[in-house]
Amino acid sequence: MTKRLPLVWCQRRLALLWLAGAAVLVLLMIAQSMGNKYGESTDQAWGWLLPTIIPTLSLIVGAFAAAARRPLDQVTVDGFSYRLTFWLSVFYLLLVILVPLAQPLTGRPPLELMQLSKLWLGAVQGIVGIALGVYFVSSGQTES
């Protein structure tokens, strides 16, 4: 039987992971925008980043905020679901941040690489979303 974990603890870990990942990405993009890395296409670069992280980040932060409104100290979640969601999130965030970091090494124009990355990021983002769904369904079981 899979070990169950406290829901609040899991939510905090996931929220921290996504906020940290998003912060790194946003700071990187801000620095690049200020360095005129994307020239006249800065808005397009941000147009790539925001749909990549905001939907999932909103979901996690929203769930975290909803959980904060009621006492959930006794609520537990399935440990495997949590770990699956956590590491899928790590994998996804690494894939996202790899796009701007690897661009100078590839020689491709940044926007071209961003467009190309949508192919795999979209697929992984879908899997992360499914994993998050399973994680939320698994919540609500009180540890006996």
Partner 1 sequence: MIARVLLLAVLATAQRPVTKRPVARPVDPRSVVAPGVVPPVVLPTPVPPAQGAPLASFQGTWLGPGTDSTARRMVRVDGLHIRVSESCLAGGDVECNYEGDAVAYRPLGAAPNDSTISALAVEYGDARWRQSLILRPSEQGRLEAFVYTRYAEAERRNAYEHQVLTRVTFQTIPANIPQFPWPPPRATVTLRLPDSLVAIPGQDSLGTVFDRLRVALTRVDVGWWSVYAIGPNGFAVVTRMEAIEADGRPKPGAERWSGLRAQETPRFSGIGDYLKALFSARPGFYRVIVFAVTERPSGQTADGHGLRARDAEVLVAGGSDQLPAAMRRIRLGADGRCIALIYEFERPSESDTARFVANAAIGALQHLTLAGLWSNEQLRK
Under the binding rule (CB under 8 A), the answer on residue 44 touching partner 1 is: yes
For partner 1, the binding residues in 50-89 under the rule CB under 8 A are none
Assess 103 for contact with partner 1 (CB under 8 A).
Answer: yes
Residue 71 DSSP symbol: -
Is residue 108 part of the contact set for partner 1 (CB under 8 A)? yes
Q: Which of 32, 61, 124, 136 binds partner 1 (CB under 8 A)?
A: 32
Q: Indicate the helix (H) or strand (E) that contains 75.
A: strand 75-78
In eight-state DSSP terms, residue 108 is: S
Q: Which is nearer to partner 1, 13 or 33 (CB)?
A: 33
Residue 122 CA to residue 117 CA, distance in Å, equals 8
Which range, of 54-62, 68-76, 108-116, 133-141, touches partner 1 by CB under 8 A?
Answer: 108-116
Q: Is 41 in the site for partner 1 (CB under 8 A)?
A: yes
Asked if 105 is part of the footprint of partner 1 (rule: CB under 8 A), the reply reads yes
Q: Note whether 101 binds partner 1 by CB under 8 A.
A: yes
Footprint on residues 11-30 left by partner 1 (CB under 8 A): none
| By the rule CB under 8 A, 45 interacts with partner 1 | yes
Residue 43 in contact with partner 1, rule: CB under 8 A: no
Backbone angles phi and psi of 77, in degrees to 5: -130, 160
CA-CA distance, 13 to 5, in Å (whole number)? 12
Alpha-carbon dihedral angle through residues 103, 106, 111, 117, given to the nearest 10 degrees: -90
**Tokens at 15, concatenated:** 């929220």
